[in-house]
Structure 1
Amino acid sequence: MRDAGTTARGDSVFDEDVVVIGSGFGGSVSALRLVDKGYRVLVYEAGRRFEDEDFAKTSWDVRRYLWAPALGCYGIQRIHRLPHVMILAGAGVGGGSLNYANTLYQPGGAFFTDPQWSALADWDAELSPHYATAKRMLGVVDRYPHSGPVERIMAGAAEDLGVGDTFRHAPVGVWFGKPGERTADPFFDGEGPDRTGCTLCGNCMVGCRVGAKNTLMKNYLALAERRGAVIEPLRTVTEVRELPGGGFAVTTERSGAWLRRERRTVRARQVVLAAGTWGTQQLLHRMKQSGALPRISDAVGRLTRTNSEALDGAIATEVPTSLELAKGVAITTSFHVDERTHVENVRYGPGSNLMGALASIMVPGDASLGRRLGTLVGRFLRAPIRQVRLGSLRRWSERGIIALVMQTVDNSLTLSLRRRFGRLVMTSRQGHGEPNPSHLPQAHRAAAAIAARVQKEGGVPAGARGSWPEVFGIPLTAHFLGGAVISASPETGVVDRYHRVWGHPGLHVVDGAAVPANPGVNPSLTITALAERAMSFWPRSGDVDGRPVQQT
C-alpha cells in the first residue's frame, strides 16, 4: 500500500486517484487503462493471489479450490445461493478468469438490440473495436484447434437434433504452443510473463497449473502491475462512503477474519466497482440502505440475469475406454438447439470429480416438486444399480460430458436485501420479462442427445443427468449478470451509458453487474469489451480535473 495523503485534488487530499474493487474482467481492464492514463490505481481483491503451482491439483483439494474463507478455504470457486438460482463465480487475483472455461464468444444481435439499452447507442458497431482489442489482449484463438471423441460426440448430437449446421469449435483464450514447453511471452513483445504450451489436461476450471490459460494475471493485470498499479489481495471491501467534499472513503478488512480484521480506510477521488455481479450488487444494496451512498437508484437489483442458463449433462456407468472424455480444454465446441438456445460441452480433468456431487437423476422440470421427487424416486427404484453407477463420483470427469445451456431470452430476477437471523442477506423474486426458468426443456433434449452418442460411441450404458438444485426448482448458472445495468435514466437503471453511477459522480460500475441483457453466450469477452469502451472515455489524469465525460 502507498503512503497516505500524497495525491492532492483541489482542496482535498486523497490516498489514491482511483480505487478499483475487484480484479476480474472489468477491474483488470480498468486498472491497466487507468494506470496507462497516469492515474494512481489501487486494486482491492477479496481472494488470494495464485501462482501457477498454487492452484489445486484436483477439485478435491477443497482448501485451494473452494472459496469459504471463514472455514479456511481460499480457493477460486465461489458458490452462492438465492431462492431462484445457484451461482458459480470466481475468487482470487484475476477473478473469474481463474476458474472460467476460457471461452470467449461474441454475442449475436439480440443482445445489442435489447430495449433496455438499444436506444442509447448502436452497440454492435460501437463495441466492435473494443471486442477486437479484448480478443487481442485475451489471446483468443478463434477456433479450438483439436478434435477428439467429445468434439465428435457433440457434432453427432447436433446432427441428431437436426441442427448440425450450427455446430462449431469454440473460440478460446489459451496459449497452445508446444505442449509443456516454456516460452518467452508470445503476446506482448516480451512485456508479459513467460508461458507454457497447453497439455490438454482438462483442469482449466480448477486452475491452470501449466501456465497455458490466458488468465488476467497473464495479460491485463500483469501489465497493470508492471506499469504501476498496486494490487492488494485478501482485502474485502465492507464500505464505500461518499465524502462531503467529493470522493470516497473505502473501508476494507482481512478476508475471512474472525477476530483480527485489520480494518483500514483509504480515500479515493474515484471508485470503480468491479467485484463481480454478486459482490457489486451486495455493496450497492448495503451502501444504499446504510446511507453511505444514499442516491443509488431504486432500480438497483432489477434486471438481474442468469443468462437463462442450465447445467445438465450425460454420464456413462463406467469409463468408456475408447473415449478420452477428459482430454482437452474445458469447453471446445457448441451448437444451437434453436435460435435462442446455445449448448456447449464442458469438462473437468481426471481426478477433478467434486462438482459431480451436484448431478442428479433428470426429472421433468415443469412438474410440481412432489412429482419431481416422485419421478426421481421412481426412476431410482426401477434401476437402482444403474442409477448408483451413473451417480458415482468415481472417475466422474472421465465418464461424462457437462452440457452448459444458455439463452438470449428476456427474463430476469429482482434482487433485494432481507434480514435473516439478524443479518442482511440478498434474496430474489421474479422480475421483468418471462419468468426466470427453473429448467430448460432444450437442455434436457441436448443432454439426452449427447448421452445417446456417448453410449453409441463408447459402448457402455449412459444416461442424461440433471442437477440436485434443479430437482428443487433452482437452476445453476455460471454467468450471473445485471442488477446495476446501463440505462437512459436513474428510473430505469443504475449507471449511464459511460458506466457512471447515477447520483454519485466519481463512482462507476464496470463489470457483469452493468450488463443489461442475456448474451446467450459466455459473457467474459463482452464484459471486457464494455470495460475497454468505458475506460476509453476517461481523459488522462489531470485533464478536465480527471473526470470522464460529463454526465447527462
Structure 2
Amino acid sequence: MDRTLLAAVVDRIMPADRDGGAVAFGALDYLDGILPAQPKLGAAIAAGLARLPADFAALPEAERDATLAGLDDAGWFRELCELVAEGVYADPGNGGNPNAASWDMVGYEHRLPEGPTGPARRDGQAPQPFSGTLDYDVIIVGAGAGGGVAAGVLAEAGKHVLLLERGLVRDYSDSGHRDHLRNHRLALYGHNTGPDLDGNPRVLAGPDGVERVLRPHENGYQNLAAAVGSGTLVYGAQAWRFHRADFRMASLYGVPEGSSLIDWPIGYDDLAPWYERAEWEIGVSGEGAAHSHEGLRTRDYPMPPLPDSPARSVLRRGAAALGITTTRPPLAINSQPRHGRDGCMGCGSCVGFPCPSDAKNGTQNTMIRRALATGRCHLVTGAMVLRVDTDSAGVVTGVRFADSTGAEHSVRGKAVVLAGGAIETARLLLNSPSAREPDGLGNEHDLVGRNLQGHVYAVAYGQFDETVHASRGPGVSIATTAYNHGNPGIVGGGMLADDFVQPPIIFWKNVLPPGQRRWGQGAKDFMRDQFHRVLRVAGPVHEIPNAEARVRVAPGVRDKWGLPVAMLSGAVHAETIRTAHYMHGKALGWLHASGALATWGFAPNPGLSGGQHQAGTCRMGTDPSNSVTDPFGRVWGHDNLFVSDGGLHPTNGGFNPVLTIMALAFRNAEHLASSM
C-alpha cells in the first residue's frame, strides 16, 4: 500500500484547521495496527488508492477533495473513513488519538483516575477452582442478576450452595481497560468480558433459511456478558419496576393473530414487595413518588437521584408543551456512598464497562459477596455446565460441568437453579435430554426456547442550539412513561428517556445525521460543534411474543466443549414493529416540542430480538400446555429444577427488565428456601 498516497487521503478525510487533522490525531498509526488483522479490507483499500490519480498527493486540497467526492459510494472509501474515525475518536490505547487530543477538541472528559484508557489491560482474575465437594443443597448455574440473587438468599437461609459461572471475576482494576472499540456498548472487534471469541459460536438462521455462524461480539449473537455479575457488571443500571398493566397484556389487548401473548401468572401487587427488597438490597437511586405508572409505594428508594444532565431541563419544557408527565429513571448506581462503596464519580463511559468507583450495583458486589461471606457458597469460575443430570426415572440429581482445566465433574444437588440467561438456559435444557424427556428437560410441549424476546428500541435524535448533553455520567436523567399504555390502536407501548453519556466514537458511529458526509471539513465541524448539542431520546418497546422466535440447538455446530450451540431463528411480531414506529414518532415529537432545530433517527427492523434484555424462552404460567415453569420458576414435571433469569418472563414489559429479574429471584429463592 502506497503510504504517501494513503496519508494524502487520510489528511482530507479529516483536514487540519485550528485543531489537528487525522494525521496529527494518530489515524495512520491506528491503520498500521488494525489493517494487518483485516487483510481483505486492506487489499480493497490498496486497490482503491491505486485507482486515484498518480499525482493525487501533490494536488491542491480543493482538487483532492473534489476527487474524493466522487468516492462517497465506494465501499473501500466508506470503510476507510470509518477506520480513520476510530483512530481519531477512540481511546488512545487503540493506537491513535495521542494524549486524547480529539477528545479535547470535542469537549469529552473521561474522568478516569489512571488516564483516558483506564487501568492496564488484564483479562479478569484467575479462575476460582472447584473444591471437590460433590453434594450440595442447591446448585446454581450462572452468576448474573437472577443467579446472584438466588445465591445470596439461599446461602443466608443456611443452604449449602454451589455457584457455577463460565466467566471470571472481573472488576474495574482487572477488566477496566477502557477500550472504546471492544465493549458491550460498541463491540466492533471484541468485548471486555467473556465468553471468549473463539470456541463459543452461535448459529443465526435468517428468514431465508440461510444459517450464519457468529462469534460472541458479532451482530445477531445476542450476547450477555459472561462474568460474575454478568450484565450487571457493565450495564447502564436502569432499575425500573414494570407497569401494572404489563402483567395483563392479553386481558387488556386480546391476543394478536400469530402471537403468543399471555398474561403473567402473577400481578404487580404480588411482586411489589420483592421489587422493594431488590431496590434496597441491591441499591437504587431515584425518586419513587414521581413514578405515576406504579401507583402508591410503601417505601421510596434508598438513595436520592443522581445529578441532572443538561437534557433534563430541555426535555421538561418539551413535556410541558405536550402535556405529558416525566420522571427520573431509577438507577442501580450509588448517588452517595453506601455499604462501604463510593458514590458515582461521573465518568464519561458508564455503560459497557465496570465502574471505576464500584458505585454501579450488581450482584457481583452485593448478593454474591454476601453469599460468599456466609461460608456456605462455593463459587467456581471458568466452569461450563455440560448438562443437567437425571436418574433412570428422569429425576434431576445435579449437573455435570467442566472446570477451567477441562476436567469434568458430576455434582449432586437437592435442587438445581438455572440462571444462565434466556438463551443459554434454554440451550442447557435442550442439551439435557432424558429417557423420559428425549427432546430436553421440561420440553414435553415443545416450549423450551420458544417466545424469545428482548427489546427493540425506538430511537430519535434532536439537534439544539444549546448544550443538551455533557460528558459527565451516567447522563440519563429524565424519562416519560406516558406512552407505556393507553395508546389508541396500539398494543402496549414503551418508556422513553434521554441517553447515557456517549464516548465520541459511539457518537460518530450512531449519531451523525443522514446526509452528513462522513469525511471532510463538514464531518469534523459537526463532531466539534455538535457533540454537546445533540440529544438522543430512546426507549424499549413492549414486545409481543411469538412462538417462532426461538432458541434451538444446532448439532452440526459445537462449542469448544463439544456441545451443540444455540441456534436462533424467527423475528419480532408485526405488532411490535407497529408499536415501535408509533413510539419513534413520539420520541421525535418530544424533541420537536423541546426546541430541536433538526431531528432524525430510525425505527427498528423486524429482525430477531434478544440482546442484553433477552427473555421469554422458559416462561412461567399456571398451565403446562403453554408455559415451561410454574409461578415460582419450577420446571413442570420436576420438583427440584428451577429457572431464575429473564427466560421466566411471559412478556418483557416496556422497561429495562433487570429489576424484575432480581425481584422474581428474591421471591422464588425465598420460596425454594422455605420448601426445602
Q: TM-score, normalised on structure 1?
A: 0.75
Alignment correspondent of 1:212: 359
Note if contact 2:398-2:410 (Cα within 8 Å) is conserved in structure 1. Answer: yes
Structure 2 residue 276 is matched with structure 1 residue 129: no
Letter in 2 for 1:502: W
Alignment correspondent of 2:343: 197
Letter in 1 for 2:601: R
Which string of whole-angstrom CA distances, capped at 9 and with x for unpartnered residues, describes residues 324-373 of structure 1? 4332315322114633221122224546x35864x3788xxxxxxxxxxx
Structure 2 residue 139 is matched with structure 1 residue 19: yes
Q: 2:499 aligns with which of 327, 346, 349?
A: 346
Residues in 2 aligned to 1:55 and 1:274: alpha-carbon distance in whole angstroms = 23
Structure 2 residue 235 is matched with structure 1 residue 235: no
Structure 2 residue 345 is matched with structure 1 residue 174: no
Note if contact 1:102-1:172 (Cα within 8 Å) is conserved in structure 2. Answer: yes
Which string of whole-angstrom CA distances, capped at 9 and with x for unpartnered residues, describes residues 202-249 of structure 1? 433222111111122221111111012122222222222213374434
1:60-459 equivalence runs, <5 A: 60=180, 62=182, 65-67=191-193, 69-71=195-197, 83=206, 86=220, 87=222, 89-115=224-250, 118=263, 120-121=265-266, 123-143=267-287, 144-159=305-320, 162=322, 164-177=323-336, 186-187=338-339, 194-205=340-351, 206-228=353-375, 229-244=377-392, 246-253=395-402, 261-288=406-433, 291=438, 293-297=440-444, 298-307=446-455, 309-310=456-457, 312-314=459-461, 322-329=467-474, 331-336=476-481, 338=483, 339=485, 340-348=493-501, 350=503, 353-354=505-506, 357=509, 359=510, 380=515, 389=523, 400-408=534-542, 410-413=544-547, 414-417=549-552, 419=554, 422-423=557-558, 424=564, 425-430=566-571, 435-437=575-577, 440-449=580-589, 456=596
Note if contact 1:315-1:451 (Cα within 8 Å) is conserved in structure 2. Answer: yes
Q: 1:316 to 1:389 in 2, by over 3 A?
A: farther
Q: What SS does the aligned partner of 1:102 have?
A: coil
Alignment correspondent of 1:366: none
Q: 1:60 to 1:361 in 2, by over 3 A?
A: closer
Alignment correspondent of 2:623: 489
Residues in 1 aligned to 2:384 and 2:594: alpha-carbon distance in whole angstroms = 44
Residues in 1 aligned to 2:542 and 2:166: alpha-carbon distance in whole angstroms = 31
1:509-524 equivalence runs, <5 A: 509-524=643-658
Letter in 1 for 2:500: R
C-alpha displacement of 1:288:
4.1
Which string of whole-angstrom CA distances, capped at 9 and with x for unpartnered residues, describes residues 353-403 of structure 1? 35864x3788xxxxxxxxxxxxxxxx64x8676998399999998665444
Note if contact 1:310-1:475 (Cα within 8 Å) is conserved in structure 2. Answer: no
Residues in 2 aligned to 1:234 and 1:391: alpha-carbon distance in whole angstroms = 47
Q: What SS does the aligned partner of 1:269 have?
A: strand
- List alignment gaps of at least 5 residues for structure 2: 1-128, 184-189, 208-218, 251-260, 288-304, 486-492, 559-563
C-alpha displacement of 1:511:
1.0
Q: What SS does the aligned partner of 1:444 have?
A: helix
C-alpha displacement of 1:493:
0.8
Residues in 2 aligned to 1:397 and 1:249: alpha-carbon distance in whole angstroms = 53
Q: Percent identity?
A: 22
- Higher alpha-carbon deviation: 23-32 or 396-405: 396-405
Q: What SS does the aligned partner of 1:304 have?
A: coil
C-alpha displacement of 1:135:
1.1
Q: 1:171 to 1:70 in 2, by over 3 A?
A: closer
Note if contact 1:83-1:428 (Cα within 8 Å) is conserved in structure 2. Answer: yes
Q: 1:73 to 1:104 in 2, by over 3 A?
A: farther
Note if contact 1:315-1:464 (Cα within 8 Å) is conserved in structure 2. Answer: yes
State the structure with more CA Rg.
2
Note if contact 1:411-1:434 (Cα within 8 Å) is conserved in structure 2. Answer: no
C-alpha displacement of 1:165:
2.6
Note if contact 1:55-1:208 (Cα within 8 Å) is conserved in structure 2. Answer: no
Q: 1:150 to 1:515 in 2, by over 3 A?
A: same
- Larger RCO: 1 or 2 (CA < 8 Å, sep 6+): 1
Aligned-CA RMSD value = 4.0
C-alpha displacement of 1:118:
4.8
Letter in 2 for 1:91: A
Alignment correspondent of 1:31: 151
Q: What SS does the aligned partner of 1:271 have?
A: strand
Residues in 1 aligned to 2:588 and 2:521: alpha-carbon distance in whole angstroms = 15
Q: 1:321 to 1:208 in 2, by over 3 A?
A: farther
Which string of whole-angstrom CA distances, capped at 9 and with x for unpartnered residues, describes residues 8-40 of structure 1? xxxxxx522211111122111110111122211
Q: What SS does the aligned partner of 2:570 have?
A: strand
C-alpha displacement of 1:481:
1.0
C-alpha displacement of 1:251:
2.5
Alignment correspondent of 1:58: 178
Residues in 2 aligned to 1:444 and 1:267: alpha-carbon distance in whole angstroms = 50
Residues in 2 aligned to 1:2 and 1:26: alpha-carbon distance in whole angstroms = 22
Residues in 2 aligned to 1:94 and 1:146: alpha-carbon distance in whole angstroms = 26
C-alpha displacement of 1:284:
2.0
Alignment correspondent of 1:506: 640
Note if contact 1:102-1:204 (Cα within 8 Å) is conserved in structure 2. Answer: no
Note if contact 1:299-1:490 (Cα within 8 Å) is conserved in structure 2. Answer: no
Alignment correspondent of 2:600: 464
Q: What SS does the aligned partner of 1:197 have?
A: coil
Note if contact 2:318-2:595 (Cα within 8 Å) is conserved in structure 1. Answer: no
Letter in 1 for 2:180: W
Note if contact 1:271-1:508 (Cα within 8 Å) is conserved in structure 2. Answer: yes
Alignment correspondent of 2:253: none
Note if contact 1:325-1:401 (Cα within 8 Å) is conserved in structure 2. Answer: no
Letter in 1 for 2:497: E
Residues in 2 aligned to 1:390 and 1:484: alpha-carbon distance in whole angstroms = 48
C-alpha displacement of 1:101:
1.4
Q: What SS does the aligned partner of 1:287 have?
A: coil
Q: 1:442 to 1:132 in 2, by over 3 A?
A: same
Residues in 2 aligned to 1:158 and 1:59: alpha-carbon distance in whole angstroms = 36
Which string of whole-angstrom CA distances, capped at 9 and with x for unpartnered residues, describes residues 52-74 of structure 1? 32333434262894446444799
Note if contact 1:447-1:465 (Cα within 8 Å) is conserved in structure 2. Answer: no
Q: 1:396 to 1:300 in 2, by over 3 A?
A: farther
Residues in 2 aligned to 1:292 and 1:34: alpha-carbon distance in whole angstroms = 30
Alignment correspondent of 1:550: none
C-alpha displacement of 1:3:
4.8
Which string of whole-angstrom CA distances, capped at 9 and with x for unpartnered residues, describes residues 156-206 of structure 1? 44346x2x43211111122122xxxxx6xx34xxxxxx2112122243322
Note if contact 1:299-1:484 (Cα within 8 Å) is conserved in structure 2. Answer: yes
Letter in 2 for 1:243: D
Note if contact 2:448-2:617 (Cα within 8 Å) is conserved in structure 1. Answer: yes
By percentage of residues, which structure has more strand? 1
C-alpha displacement of 1:134:
1.0
Letter in 1 for 2:667: R
Q: TM-score, normalised on structure 2?
A: 0.62
Note if contact 1:285-1:417 (Cα within 8 Å) is conserved in structure 2. Answer: yes
Note if contact 2:142-2:166 (Cα within 8 Å) is conserved in structure 1. Answer: yes
C-alpha displacement of 1:148:
2.9
Note if contact 1:249-1:268 (Cα within 8 Å) is conserved in structure 2. Answer: yes
Residues in 2 aligned to 1:444 and 1:387: alpha-carbon distance in whole angstroms = 31
Q: 1:250 to 1:210 in 2, by over 3 A?
A: same
C-alpha displacement of 1:420:
7.9
Residues in 1 aligned to 2:176 and 2:583: alpha-carbon distance in whole angstroms = 30
